[in-house]
Structure 1
Amino acid sequence: MTLRLRIAVGMGLVAVVLAVMGVRAMRTTESALMGQVDATLTRSIPRLRLDGPAASPGPSPLWVAAVNEGKLRVVAEPDLTEGDPGTPDIDVATALAALDQPPFTVDAIGSPGRYRVQVRSVGPRDRPVVLGAPLEGVDATVRKVRNHEILRMLVFLGTLGLVAYWVDRLGLRPIRQMTTTAQAIAEGDRTQRVPSTRAGTEAAELGDALNHMLTRLAADDAARTASEARLRQFVADASHELRTPLTTIAGYAELHRMGGLEDPGQLDDAMRRTEQETARMTQLVDEMLDLARLDQGRPLTATPTDLAQVLRDSAIDAAAVEPGRPIDVDCPETMTVPADEARIRQVIANLVGNVRVHTSPDTALHLRLRSEDGWAILEVIDHGPGMDHETAARAFERFYRADSARTRATGGSGLGLSIVAAVVSAHRGHVRIVPTPGGGTTVQIALPLDPGPGGPASSPDSRQDG
């Protein structure tokens, strides 16, 4: 049984109870008034005088008749100020049958009213006398009580109906709307939401909570779909990247098996290319393993790390690889942050390696380090060709390359910047790519000087990603 039906049944039961109480009140009132009338009849019997013209002189509230020679002789009639009470509808036979019996009620003749009648033997000759009291007052009082009870019942039921209406509007109707919404969502319409109701009610709080839950579920569903798409793309890209070196190695092995590498020079060149492709494949697998570990959220080995020293060491390493490239380091004497030093060195090495791959050997490389509002800001700046907006926005995606070619002689695996973003994020930091003034690319990394439980309140630049 629904709550709405239970409320309706409850209201019906209340109406029945009120009706029973009203009927009982009317009957109790009528019984009490009848008792008073009966007492009046009983008290009036000893005062009756039926002989002579002065019988029962003066106005009387009673109707009195004597049984004489088989007929009823009216001795007195009620003198009322309002209306005609009529006469009791009683005959001699009825009167004689009711002699010395308890009072009883009869209808009135000539009036819609009633009479309370009692028959007694009066006088020395025990003459039967009929006394009748009009019940207009009793009936009027009972009608008032009845009207009062009906009015009270209507007011009570009306108030109860209003309460039920508001309960339905504020409580049950929103629940039905939630049920309809849930059914629509179960059928596949994930865009449905619970309509807003009056604020401050439990139904409104429940609706808001459900909408918040649905929004979160929709966001999680979208994130899961996007994650699955990225995973499929990652597997496809990884398969493609691994296929190229494997194909090269298999080709040289097949060529050697068929005797096509008899010349020592050709064999040496084949071995060199095989080693290169093997190293490339090993690098790709290592980088994918790095990303997998970072995605799993494995804890980093955080120790006090001097970023200034790491930056200077990276500049020395870059100069050793490319002695002809201008390299400039601008950093304080020391700046220590809690970080995984090996991972931070890997980040800077990846960024410097990108500069080496994508710019000419004479392009200047600038390494900058400063502190700002609780953050250590590290910048790797070059003055090469730079990136367009779309490339910069997607640079941290896995296996993303700005050109359409899937392989290139100078290209890496396409995971370097993805590893940078993952490592920085694991340190509760942020990374972004901005254009270098005058041309080129600047990769800016922000690491918290004191991560604490949740890191600094906000990054120095709300546009940072990663």
Structure 2
Amino acid sequence: MAARLLIGVLAVSGLGLALSLVAGTVLLRDYLYGRVAEQVSGLSQAPDVRPGAIAPSRLCEVTDAPAVLPSDFRLTVIEADGSVRCRVPGDQTGPPVPSVDELRDWADDDAAAVVRDDSGSWATSVDAFDQPGRDGGKGYVMVAISLRNADLTVQRVAVGGAAIGVVVLAVLALAGRMVIRIGLRPLTDVREAAREIRHGDLSARVPPGKPGTEVADLSTALNSMLEEIQRGFEKRRESEQRIRQFATDASHELRTPLTSIKGYAQLYAQMAARNTGSDAGTSIAREARKDVEQRRAEVVSRIDSEADRMSGIVEDLLLLARLDQQPELVKERVDLVEIAHDVLTAARAGHPERRLDLKVEGPVEVEGDPGRLQQVVANLVTNAIVHTPSAIVVAAATTDGVAVLEVRDDGPGMPAEVQHRIFDRFYRADVGRSRRSGGSGLGLSIVRALVEAHGGSLECVSSVARGSTFTVTLPRAS
């Protein structure tokens, strides 16, 4: 692009210089020719070549040419029939003699004429005179001067102008290259940024140009586009990472109950084979069979428990999948205070040793699905019971036109890196994923999805050794 711009500038500049040189040369030549023509015309009518000074008929008798003509001038006396009587000075050639008709026309015209021959161009002026004793016949005096000096001047000016034009084009090429390079520097920056991005550096940006210029607008638009592209790539990487982590965690969570079911099934088969081969007639055999029956019942119970666990994980995944599709929930007027009371009542029955308090300020009504909202509160309370040994407080109130429900504890709290991922699916702070330290890691993900499906938000504020607070904010019922 820079080369094309430079070639275009030089082409236009060269054409302009050439036209200027041609026009100047033509004007100079016309000016010089005009000056010489004026001198010739004036001299042909000067007294020293007119009757009264030196008669035209006696010019051929003059031997002292400088006394009659200035230097470089040529004078030719021509008879009426067009023949040359003499030339002054006599040792010099003059311009070609025109025909009699041309002599007659030139004599009637005061302007000088230009004639050309092998020796060059001549500016000529013709004047007629009477020839005594020749029956009224007229002769002609033609004064001429060579235009070689004028032509040489024009030629030198043309050559000098062409040389100057070449120098000007060379200087213009150097200066234009620098100016174009400076002017295209923003595009060079764009190219360098594109190269960096192509090599994987998505943080590369185009330097901003001077405010208010087209380059600045282009840089701003490109940087905005690059920021969007970078955010898109980062989101895609995060999404891919979440998908990989999700697949890993889901596989782990489902593999555990499947492995347990498979092991218990094999144990059940072994006990059945052992029981078939035993002697049913002895008391020892009856006792062994009774023990096998008890162990078989325990195995069946374990299989049923693991199947329930796996079914629960699958149900949670299906629920999250449905919530991702933003379904229409059942909307009715619901009091969060009643839901919190029912959840805490059930939790006290299952954990009588735990302190579970409810703090409310009158009814807190919202529009939503009662069953899903109860699932939200139950999951938050269960999460607090499982992960903290401390007292748990559930508070509900209305403030600034929204309903707020909080689940607080004064347990060990969570570090910042755990808070950042606490709502991710299958995420658990326990990397060993022991069943004694928590569930499948879907509870808080379901809570957030349900709250967002109701048009609300879920936040967690926690600090190590100071406990955690989960805050649910929902639109207040109108």
Q: Same fold (TM over 0.5)?
A: yes
Structure 2 residue aligned with 1:311, among 306, 323, 340?
340
Q: Report the AA paired with residue 395 of structure 2.
A: R
- What amino acid is aligned across from residue 68 of structure 1 in structure 2? C
Q: Deviations over 1:243-278 (max 9, x none)?
A: 111111112222222325752211221121111111
Structure 2 residue 401 is matched with structure 1 residue 364: no
Distance 2:330 2:54 in 1: 126
1:431 partner amino acid: E
Helix, strand or coil: the match of 1:370? strand
- Does residue 445 of structure 2 align to residue 432 of structure 1? no
Q: What's 1:251 paired with?
A: 263
1:19 aligns with 2:48: no
Q: Deviations over 1:79-118 (max 9, x none)?
A: xxxxxxx635896453263464864489xxxxxxx99642
Structure 1 pair 148–450 and aligned structure 2 pair: CA distance change class (3 A):
farther
Which residue of 1 is the match for residue 408 of structure 2?
A: 381
Aligned to 1:120: 126
Which of 435, 443, 459 does residue 470 from structure 2 map onto? 443
1:406 aligns with 2:405: no
Q: Aligned to 1:349, which of 374, 378, 387?
A: 378
Report Cα offsets for 1:162-211 as digits up to 9, x if no partner. Answer: 899666534x3322332343244334443433233222222222222222
Find the aligned partners of 2:259 and 2:188 in 1 and give their Cα distance: 63
CA contact (8 A) 1:332 1:370 kept: yes
SS at match of 2:473: strand
Write the distance in 2 (CA, Å) between the matches of 1:449 and 1:135: 107
Name structure 1 gaps, 5 residues minimum.
57-63, 79-85, 107-113, 452-466
Report the alpha carbon displacement of residue 154 of structure 1 after superposing the two structures with TM. Answer: 10
Aligned to 1:276: 305
Distance 1:201 1:163 in 2: 21
Secondary structure of 2:143 counterpart: strand
Distance 1:47 1:364, change over 3 A: closer
Q: Matched residues in 1 for 2:205 and 2:74: separation?
A: 75
Q: Give the corresponding residue for 2:4.
A: 5
* Residue matched to 1:229: 241
CA shift in 2, pair 1:364/1:193, >3 Å: closer
1:198 equivalenced with 2:202 (yes/no): no
SS class of match (2:395): strand
Instruction: Name the CA distance, whole Å, in 2 between partners of 1:384 and 1:121.
Output: 131
Counterpart in 2 of 1:109? none
C-alpha contact 2:408 2:467 (8 A) present in aligned 1: yes
CA contact 1:398–1:414 (8 Å) conserved in 2: yes
Letter in 2 for 1:38: A
Letter of the structure 2 residue corresponding to residue 73 of structure 1 = A
Contact 1:67 1:128 in 2 (8 A): no
Q: How high is the sequence identity, in percent, across the aligned residues?
A: 31
Structure 1 residue 323 displacement after superposition: 4.5
Change (3 A) 1:338 1:161: farther
Q: Secondary structure at the match of 2:65?
A: strand
Instruction: Check conservation: 1:424, 1:431, Cα contact below 8 A.
Output: no
Taking the aligned partners of 1:338 and 1:206, their CA distance within structure 2 comes to 49
Question: Using the alignment, how far apart are the partners of 1:141 and 1:373 within structure 2?
Answer: 95
> Within 5 Å, which residues of 2 pair with 1:3-402?
4-28=3-27, 30-31=29-30, 34-35=33-34, 37-38=36-37, 41-42=40-41, 45-50=44-49, 54=53, 68=60, 73-76=65-68, 87-88=72-73, 92=90, 94-95=93-94, 97-98=96-97, 100=103, 103-104=113-114, 117-118=123-124, 120=126, 122-125=128-131, 126=139, 128-132=141-145, 169-170=182-183, 172-258=184-270, 259=272, 263-298=292-327, 300-301=329-330, 303-360=332-389, 363-402=390-429
Give the Å deviation of 1:222. Answer: 2.3
Post-superposition, which runs of at least 4 consecutive aligned residues in structure 1 deviate over 6 A? 133-165
Question: Per the alignment, do residues 48 and 135 of structure 1 end up closer, same or farther by CA in structure 2, a change over 3 Å counting?
Answer: farther
8 A Cα contact 1:26 1:146, kept in partner: no
Alpha-carbon distance, 1:345 to partner: 2.0
- Structure 1 Cα separation of the partners of residues 127 and 419 of structure 2: 123
Q: 1:15 to 1:290 in 2, by over 3 A?
A: same
Structure 2 distance, partners of 1:203, 1:301, is 55
Query: In proportion to residue count, which structure has more helix?
Result: 2
Contact residue 308 and residue 335 of structure 1 kept, 8 A: yes
1:372-416 deviation digits (Å, cap 9, x = unpaired) = 445433211234444445444443233333334322246311211
The residue type equivalent to 1:95 in the other structure is G
Q: Is the 8 A contact 2:13 2:169 kept in 1?
A: no
Is contact 2:74–2:94 with CA below 8 Å preserved after alignment?
no
Distance 1:421 1:228, change over 3 A: same
The letter for the 2-side match of 1:9 is: G
Q: Determine helix, strand or coil for the equivalent of 2:189.
A: helix
CA 284–143 in structure 1, closer or farther in 2 if over 3 Å, else same: same
Distance of 1:226 and 1:278 partners within structure 2: 32
Q: CA RMSD in A?
A: 4.6
Query: How many equivalent pairs are there?
Result: 424
Q: Report deviation, 1:351.
A: 0.9
List alignment gaps of at least 5 residues for structure 2: 76-88, 107-111, 132-138, 276-288
SS in 2 for 1:333: coil
* Alpha-carbon distance in 1 for matches of 2:181, 2:11: 16
The residue type paired with residue 430 of structure 1 is L
CA distance in 2, matches of 1:147, 1:376: 92
Partner secondary structure for residue 94 of structure 1: coil
CA distance in 1, matches of 2:475, 2:24: 82
Asked if the contact 1:337/1:448 (under 8 Å) is kept, the reply is yes
- Structure showing greater Rg: 2
TM score, norm. by length of structure 1: 0.73
- Find the aligned partners of 1:232 and 1:27 in 2 and give their Cα distance: 84
Structure 1 distance, partners of 2:59, 2:319, is 125
